[in-house]
Amino acid sequence: MLSHELEVLIKSEVPLIVIESTEENQVVDVLHDLKPLHARPLFKWTLTEGIQRIDREMAPQKLFSSPTDALQHIKSVSTPGIYVLADIHPFLDEPMHIRLLKDIALQFDQLGHTMILLSHALTVPVELRKLTAKLDVALPNRTEIEKIVREEAQTWMKQSGVKVQANSDYLQLLISNLAGLTRTDVRRLARNAIFDDGAITESDLPQINEAKYKLLSEEGNLHFEYDTAKFSDIAGFSKLKGWLNERQVFFKGGAASSNLPAPKGMLLLGVQGCGKSLAAKAVAGSWQVPLLRLDFGSLYNKYYGETEKNLRDALQTAEVMAPCVMWLDEIEKGISSDGDDSGPATRMLGTLLTWMAEKKESVFIVATANDIQALPPELIRKGRFDEIFFVDLPTEEVRFTIFDIHLKKQKANPAEFDFARLVDESEGFSGAEIEQAVISSFYAAHGQERELDQALLIGELRKTQPLSVVMAEKVAQLRLWAEDRTVSCD
């Protein structure tokens, strides 16, 4: 607890306390509550208001707004006090300010001043580090988040006279999705969800996740995917669907009494265009959690060490977004061997593997790959992922379903098509190739001012040379490798 940690540091007579937090009001409120324990006057300095006494009602006086004047004043005051210096970080690179802070800290026995440097981000000068203690403001836990949500629900009821409509399951999902945010942001997003329609529903969750992601992601290396899917919208993948259903309750912590670890993730290997990306989206959509896509290309930086730092920052954001699904699309392009043991790809691989082994948050990894030869053996050994699935070309039954899905999307009547003929004509086609053939035939029908029909669709299929033919050798090699090393999705 912040109050306990602050109390310990103040009683320990630490002269300089550094707090990195955007929750300025909360820190000041805690210091107010601790006033009976230290019995010293409490002051706050800002560049705009100067030094103000804040533990009692006093007329505001804009005195000592300059950092130099403020520190010189504090040094000259003989009555011990606690001084909160808010946002002083831009001035800590000036020798005069560093020396004044050091003088005040070194004279603690004579002056008795505790200086609290409070800012969203602050680097302590080397000269002050031995005199400083750093205090982290913990983010609110589930109990605190639920309390804030219920307070906002009470506020709504007082204003509207109507009780908030809330399903207990969606309330718990809302609390989970607000984890990792500051108290201020939790209150704002909870208020937005409740005051929009006086209810907590499934429709609130995507908006909460989007707003949360925007608050957390600054570099753009991790992308929030707005459009997810459900497995009911995907043809095939029967074994994969069953495998994921077995693990969903463990991923969301619903089997707390079990000693089994939370699922880590899976690697989807297979032929291009057969639904690996759609499956990644469906995991997040079915589990009702955010989907984050890691863009390996944006991580690379010409300066040594910056690439790995970008990756660590992205992984940290994913942890704060937990529970979530993190999609590593075409992972082989980001961490394939570059022939240099000290190269950025090797260092990125090391960073990723370490995080995968040590992560404790509910971040389910879905990695997709087209070229198994480009993947380093360290990544695909047993234990890295829970399972490696192979996504093969669709079977006759799956192709039947794919045609049904995409014809309905174009508002065509499936009963007017001979599906057995379409399935025969599409032998060797991927799901993406079938989808494109349906779309192309729809364009052709529109251009000819006629309805989409069987003849047009078969014509488009016959114009297409599927990847399984164009790159037959590579597809055959991939299938051969996967035969006894992976689990089939169907």
What CATH topology corresponds to 396-470?
Answer: Helicase, Ruva Protein; domain 3 (1.10.8)
Contact present, 435 and 406 (Cβ < 8 Å): yes
The helix (run of H) or strand (run of E) holding residue 50 is: strand 50-53
For 84-94, the pLDDT digits (tens) are 999 999 999 99
- Model pLDDT, residue 117: 95
For 328-371, the pLDDT digits (tens) are 888 887 776 555 555 677 778 888 888 888 888 888 999 888 87
What are the structure tokens assigned to 373, written together?
């030869």
**What is the residue whose two structure tokens read 């879905």?**
366
Q: How large is the average pLDDT for residues 229-252?
A: 81
**Whole-structure pTM value:** 0.65
Neighbours of 261 (CB within 10 A): 9
**Which residues are 368's β-sheet partners?**
268
- Model pLDDT, residue 477: 83
| Domains 2-136 and 255-388 in one fold | yes
Between residues 175 and 112, the one the model is more confident about: 112
Residues 176, 141: Cα–Cα separation, whole Å: 10
- Model pLDDT, residue 341: 54
DSSP state of 415: G
For 432-457, the pLDDT digits (tens) are 888 898 899 989 888 888 888 888 88
Mean pLDDT of the chain: 83
Q: How large is the average pLDDT for residues 23-49?
A: 85
Q: How large is the average pLDDT for residues 185-208?
A: 83
- Model pLDDT, residue 336: 61
Q: How far is CA 488 from CA 12, 270, 297, 395, 399, in A?
A: 62, 10, 29, 12, 16
Residue 392 pLDDT greater than 90, yes or no: no
The helix (run of H) or strand (run of E) holding residue 238 is: helix 238-251
- In the chain, where the domains are located: 2-136, 142-216, 255-388, 396-470
> 172: pLDDT confidence band, cut at 50, 70 and 90?
confident
> 80: pLDDT confidence band, cut at 50, 70 and 90?
very high
Between residues 304 and 205, the one the model is more confident about: 205
Residue 135 pLDDT greater than 90, yes or no: no
For 200-228, the pLDDT digits (tens) are 877 777 778 777 777 766 556 777 777 67
> 430: pLDDT confidence band, cut at 50, 70 and 90?
confident
Statement: 255-388 belongs to CATH 3.40.50.1370 = no
Contact present, 273 and 467 (Cβ < 8 Å): yes
Closest CA to 351 of 404, 406, 308: 308
> 298: pLDDT confidence band, cut at 50, 70 and 90?
low
Pairing mode, strands 387-391 and 265-270: parallel
Angle at 133 between CA 136 and CA 56, to 5 degrees: 75
Residue 82 pLDDT greater than 90, yes or no: yes
> 314: pLDDT confidence band, cut at 50, 70 and 90?
confident
How does 73-107 read in b/e, with b if 16+ C-beta sit within 10 Å? Answer: bbeebeeebbbbbbbbbebbeeeebbebbbebbee
- Model pLDDT, residue 216: 64
Q: Name residues whose C-beta falls within 8 Å of residue 57's C-beta, 6 or more positions apart in sequence.
A: none
For 374-386, the pLDDT digits (tens) are 778 888 777 788 8
Q: How far is CA 318 from CA 64, 95, 113, 184, 217, in A?
A: 43, 39, 41, 20, 9
CATH number of 2-136: 3.40.50.300
Residue 107 pLDDT greater than 90, yes or no: yes
> 132: pLDDT confidence band, cut at 50, 70 and 90?
very high
Q: How far is CA 410 from CA 405, 439, 440, 444, in A?
A: 9, 8, 11, 13
The helix (run of H) or strand (run of E) holding residue 114 is: strand 114-119
Residues 190, 420: Cα–Cα separation, whole Å: 52
- Model pLDDT, residue 104: 95
What are the structure tokens assigned to 244, written together?
């994921």
Q: CB-based burial of residue 144 (10 Å sphere; 0-12 exposed, 13-18 middle, 19+ buried)? A: middle
Q: How large is the average pLDDT for residues 257-279?
A: 81
Percent of the chain residues past pLDDT 70, beyond the cut:
92
